[in-house]
Amino acid sequence: MKFDFRTAVNSDLPAPQKLWSAFPKYNFVGGHNDADSLPIDEITAACNSVLLREGKTLATYSLESGPQGYLPLREFLVSKLDKYASMQCDADNILLTSGSLQAIDLINAALLKPGDTVIIEESNYGGVLSRLSQLDVNMIAVPVDENGMRTDALEQTLQQLKSQGIKPGYIYTIPTVHNPTGTIMSLARREHLIELAVKYDVAIFEDECYADLVWSGTRPPALYSMDSTARVIHIGSFSKTIAPALRVGYLVADWSLMGYLLSLKTDAGSGALEQMLLAEYCTEKFDYHVTKLNKNLQVKLNALTNAIDREFGTTAEYHSPPGGIFLWVKLPDTINTSKLSEVCAAEGVAINPGNEWSLQSDSTQYLRLCFANPSAETIDEGITKLAAICHREFGIPLHGHNQPRDA
Amino acid sequence: MKFDFRTAVNSDLPAPQKLWSAFPKYNFVGGHNDADSLPIDEITAACNSVLLREGKTLATYSLESGPQGYLPLREFLVSKLDKYASMQCDADNILLTSGSLQAIDLINAALLKPGDTVIIEESNYGGVLSRLSQLDVNMIAVPVDENGMRTDALEQTLQQLKSQGIKPGYIYTIPTVHNPTGTIMSLARREHLIELAVKYDVAIFEDECYADLVWSGTRPPALYSMDSTARVIHIGSFSKTIAPALRVGYLVADWSLMGYLLSLKTDAGSGALEQMLLAEYCTEKFDYHVTKLNKNLQVKLNALTNAIDREFGTTAEYHSPPGGIFLWVKLPDTINTSKLSEVCAAEGVAINPGNEWSLQSDSTQYLRLCFANPSAETIDEGITKLAAICHREFGIPLHGHNQPRDA
């Protein structure tokens, strides 16, 4: 008789996944990137060059660089973070991780236990919401507006928690190209946030995974660079700037935390070839590549907003973001995007429903649309189809594709 | 004032690591491989070829293969596991992981909770012992002899646990080139183990990370291939056959478990370039490469045993293994290898003390020596130095390097 793993597994596991078949035709979910922007010839040349020069070191765990990851990539990051985010750190403050998700897991493992409290932005990265929920951590949400996290509300929250004798594990923020709203936190808010964190003696967890993708206005300095008390843990990634399948992220922190994170990182190192390739490529080409990528992303965002304006008209509200790869769209309150996403999925249109990306009470009116991966043409077709499904299911938008365009 | 992460971190964390500086001169620890056996020109060519053909797919998480990993590599494994281990499986039964350590973590997360019991081999992989200990799982040890796990003792253990109403989470075994003893479990023992697992309805966790490195005798079929009840979870790795820094392992299991493991694998995929490279290289060259590697490893093992025989004489006992990358050495009971390893570390000689690799009561008489990475010359020098330190600290071996060789 066959062994029954369904009864053998722990009873509190998440539901099992189904066998993967293929990407949906109209894929507006996930942080997939623009394949046409990926400079394969240059990536291949960089790979060649670093493998022929140093490939033998792959025979040792972590190359010759130790558990914090390939030293030349950490050195590139030292200069890149200085140039782009005004951060002063050295290679010993950087830990290379298997995507920024591993950085998040390590930080959570070091700082949180079930029942702890953290402060987060109300609309938020779904992968963080699901992780904190899985860890049985209390999430206290602070609203976000067009200038980023509302630090006046943060102050109230910190005050209230203090009066209850609760010290939060950290304040988690995505200050630059916030996920999902796309906003950039103003300099004044950044200063206020740090002032409050110092006053209430709380650590700040700064996630800047999208921060290199800014094409409108200037990128403010990172919180890490503005704080003189070593309380900011900064994370970033090469997923959004180079390629997500490479799985290379990083974490910048004071050594008083780093030593603990290294003890928790029991994976015998993150993938070294990908680190070698990135160091070789980025040291020469990062600026050039990101400038070009941002131009291409802007074209796709325009394709997306044009299609939404045309298909949804006034029924869709959004702020066109200054960068990034996603658009956060609000629909009328008669629409439930959770239901919408299910129906759409069955018809080849994948969208992120708002309730997986926000703790707002009206989250089911929102949806997140990622625009980096599909072509401009596919984006246009997909939004047309989305509008048609939305009309069919909810009667909105009224002038969608379901009616003659000249009606 | 600087934020104090030492008081902010969870109180039950492992001790923080220190800043890494460099590998010790005489490095007999860790699964590092033979750099001279790494075919860098061919690896580079494979990387070139796959990147130019399919590199654009790096722009999507998990390429076009879904969360179980790059399909061509899973297809290579289907044929390799059939050829080398008589295993019948298909690509849907295979999950590519970030090293086999991630496979171990996923299996533990699915099947174990604090207070659970598992059955393991008494001498064992240190990384498994530390993980199970960290998970607060009870380890019941079964002795290993020259034919592998003593299944007569396993039967007693299973009977005893049953009488106590305890059902173990799994039986963990490294049947082929056991870590650290290097033994290969006989066919009769394999049959007996499966018979017992069926009788007591327990899952088997088969770790074959070293199984491709057999140069003496034949490799028996994997337990996975001998079981008709889908209770065997099989794991393996490319760390020992190709290169450890690539961080690609794999897990083979029935789909009734796979779906849960995928839900627990929240890392957005393992490094894809390394999977692409391995598929491209191994499909053509795996057999050729492993044959050559095994010859080189055998030369290094000979260098190690020659040096030990010369320096330690009769004070060192060992079975020369039929494959693998380590030697398990027993010293007289006046020697404490835990102490020895500390003194040695300070003098540039790294060894694994037995108490980190065994639950035997006499574990502090043992040490594990990895021989794949250092050159034959370095092995010889390192053992000479080890013997000298051992003599200085414990008075044994009597005819070590500390005395004129002709004394």
**Residue B401's pLDDT band (cuts 50, 70, 90):** very low
Residues in chain B, overall count: 407
Considering only the beta carbons, identify the residue of B8, B32, B62 that sits closest to A60. Answer: B32
Question: Residue A353, preceding bond cis, omega within 30 degrees?
Answer: no
Neighbours of B104 (CB within 10 A): 24
* Cβ <8 Å between A247 and B270: yes
Q: Identify the closest residue of chain A to B30 by CA–CA distance.
A: A61
Q: Which of A110, A203, A207, A116 is nearest to A166 (CA)?
A: A116
Q: Identify the closest residue of chain B to A372 by CA–CA distance.
A: B59
Dihedral Cα A253, A255, A259, A260, nearest 10 deg: -50
Query: In B, which residues are within 8 Å of A209 by CB distance?
Result: none
Residues in chain A, overall count: 407
Tell me, what's the pLDDT at B202?
A: 98
Query: How many angstroms separate the CA of residue B236 from the nearest CA in chain A?
Result: 15
Joined together, the tokens standing for residue B205 give: 């966790």
* Nearest-angstrom CA–CA distance, B212 and B106: 23
Does residue B189 surpass a pLDDT of 80? yes
**Are A227 and B1 spatial neighbours (Cβ–Cβ below 8 Å)?**
no
Tell me, what's the pLDDT at A69?
A: 98
Q: What angle do CA B35, B41, B47 make, to 5 degrees?
A: 105
* pLDDT tens digits, A72-106: 999 999 999 999 999 999 999 999 999 999 999 99
* Cβ <8 Å between B245 and A64: no
Q: Under 8 Å CB-to-CB from B393, ≥6 apart: which residues?
A: B339, B340, B343
Instruction: Point out which residues pair with B214 in neighbouring strands.
Output: B323
* Nearest-angstrom CA–CA distance, B298 and B209: 18
**Which amino acid, one-letter code, is at A171?**
I
Distances (CA, A) of A160 to A26, A85, A119: 45, 32, 12
Domains of chain A: residue spans and CATH: 20-38+288-394 (3.90.1150.10), 40-285 (3.40.640.10)
Q: Which of B92, B155, B245 is nearest to A277 (CA)?
A: B245
Query: How many angstroms separate the CA of residue B241 from the nearest CA in chain A?
Result: 10
Considering only the beta carbons, identify the residue of B55, B255, B256 that sits closest to A44. Answer: B55
* Cβ <8 Å between A266 and B112: no
* pLDDT tens digits, A164-209: 999 999 999 999 999 999 999 999 999 999 999 999 999 999 999 9
Tell me, what's the pLDDT at B407?
A: 37
Joined together, the tokens standing for residue B262 give: 């995928």
* Nearest-angstrom CA–CA distance, B177 and B212: 9
Query: How many angstroms separate the CA of residue A334 from the nearest CA in chain B?
Result: 32
Joined together, the tokens standing for residue B302 give: 């000979």
Q: Is A295 helix (H, G, I), strand (E, B) or coil?
A: helix
Beta-sheet strands, E only, within A162-313? 171-173, 204-207, 232-237, 249-252
What's the mean pLDDT in B133-146?
Answer: 97
Q: Under 8 Å CB-to-CB from B176, ≥6 apart: which residues?
A: B184, B185, B208, B210, B211, B214, B219, B220, B222
* Nearest-angstrom CA–CA distance, A155 and A10: 40
Does residue B85 surpass a pLDDT of 80? yes
* Cβ <8 Å between A38 and B60: no
Query: How many angstroms separate the CA of residue B64 from the nearest CA in chain A?
Result: 7
Considering only the beta carbons, identify the residue of B16, B62, B253 that sits closest to A260. Answer: B16
Residue B182 backbone class (left: φ over 0; alpha: ψ -120 to 50; beta: rest) = left
Going by DSSP bridges, is the β-strand pair B117-121/B138-142 parallel, antiparallel, or unpaired?
parallel
**Are B328 and B180 spatial neighbours (Cβ–Cβ below 8 Å)?**
yes
* Cβ <8 Å between A1 and B229: yes
Q: Identify the closest residue of chain A to B240 by CA–CA distance.
A: A59
Q: Identify the closest residue of chain B to A200 by CA–CA distance.
A: B3
Query: In A, which residues are within 8 Å of B57 by CB distance?
Result: 35, 245
Q: Which of B406, B359, B367 is nearest to B383 (CA)?
A: B367
Considering only the beta carbons, identify the residue of A68, A203, A229 that sits closest to B20. Answer: A68
pTM here?
0.96
* Cβ <8 Å between B17 and A262: yes
What's the mean pLDDT in B27-39?
Answer: 95
Query: How many angstroms separate the CA of residue B336 from the nearest CA in chain A?
Result: 26
Residue A237 backbone class (left: φ over 0; alpha: ψ -120 to 50; beta: rest) = beta
Joined together, the tokens standing for residue B391 give: 């003599």
Distances (CA, A) of A238 to A192, A217, A223, A321: 29, 22, 19, 20
Joined together, the tokens standing for residue B263 give: 């839900």
Tell me, what's the pLDDT at B399?
A: 65
* Nearest-angstrom CA–CA distance, B233 and A285: 44
* Nearest-angstrom CA–CA distance, A313 and A152: 34
**Predicted-complex ipTM score:** 0.95
Query: In A, which residues are within 8 Å of B274 by CB distance?
Result: 271, 273-274
* pLDDT tens digits, B239-296: 999 999 999 999 999 999 999 999 999 999 999 999 999 999 999 999 999 999 999 9
Joined together, the tokens standing for residue A158 give: 């910190």
Q: Under 8 Å CB-to-CB from A178, ≥6 apart: which residues?
A: A121, A123, A144, A148, A184, A185
Burial class (CB in 10 A: 0-12, 13-18, 19+), B36: exposed
* Nearest-angstrom CA–CA distance, B201 and A267: 31
Q: What is the pLDDT along chain A (407 residues), one digit of tens a residue?
A: 899 999 999 999 999 999 999 999 999 999 999 999 999 999 999 999 999 999 999 999 999 999 999 999 999 999 999 999 999 999 999 999 999 999 999 999 999 999 999 999 999 999 999 999 999 999 999 999 999 999 999 999 999 999 999 999 999 999 999 999 999 999 999 999 999 999 999 999 999 999 999 999 889 999 999 999 999 999 999 999 999 999 999 999 999 999 999 999 999 999 999 999 999 999 999 999 999 999 999 999 999 999 999 999 999 999 999 999 999 999 999 999 999 999 999 999 999 999 999 999 999 999 999 999 999 999 999 999 999 999 999 999 986 444 444 43
* Cβ <8 Å between B267 and A102: yes
* pLDDT tens digits, B42-69: 999 999 999 999 999 999 999 999 999 9
* Nearest-angstrom CA–CA distance, A223 and A187: 9
* Nearest-angstrom CA–CA distance, A98 and A96: 7
Preferred mutation among A171, A266, A370 to probe B, highest tally of B CBs within 10 A: A266
Joined together, the tokens standing for residue B80 give: 């390799």
Joined together, the tokens standing for residue B289 give: 């490469």
Query: How many angstroms separate the CA of residue A398 from the nearest CA in chain B?
Result: 34
What's the mean pLDDT in B12-21?
Answer: 95
**Which amino acid, one-letter code, is at B127?**
G
Q: Is A123 helix (H, G, I), strand (E, B) or coil?
A: strand
Joined together, the tokens standing for residue A390 give: 């939305």
Tell me, what's the pLDDT at B400?
A: 43
Considering only the beta carbons, identify the residue of B33, B201, B258 that sits closest to A59. Answer: B33
Query: In A, which residues are within 8 Å of B23 by CB distance?
Result: 60, 64
* Cβ <8 Å between A257 and B66: no
DSSP state for residue A368 in the 8-state scheme: E
CA–chain centroid gap for A331, Å, is 23
Hey, CA dihedral for A30, A32, A34, A35, is it positive or negative? negative
Query: How many angstroms separate the CA of residue B40 from the nearest CA in chain A?
Result: 6
Tell me, what's the pLDDT at A399?
A: 64
Does residue B405 surpass a pLDDT of 90? no
Tell me, what's the pLDDT at B406?
A: 43
CA–chain centroid gap for B253, Å, is 19
Reduce the secondary structure of chain B to three states and give it as a string. CCCCHHHHCCCCCCCCCCCCCCCCCEECCCCCCCHHHCCHHHHHHHHHHHHHHHHHHHHCCCCCCCCCCCHHHHHHHHHHHHHHHCCCCCHHHEEEECHHHHHHHHHHHHHCCCCCEEEEECECCHHHHHHHHHCCCEEEEECEECCEECHHHHHHHHHHHHHCCCCCCCEEECCECCCCCCCECCHHHHHHHHHHHHHCCCCEEEECCCCCCECCCCCCCCHHHHCCCCCEEEEEECCCCCCHHHCCEEEECCHHHHHHHHHHCCCCCCCHHHHHHHHHHHHHHHHHHHHHHHHHHHHHHHHHHHHHHHHHHHHCECCCCCECCEEEEECCCCCCHHHHHHHHHHCCEECEEHHHCECCCCHHHEEEEECCCCCHHHHHHHHHHHHHHHHHHHCCCCCCCCCCCCC
Does residue B360 surpass a pLDDT of 80? yes
Distances (CA, A) of A237 to A103, A289, B346, B406: 10, 15, 37, 61
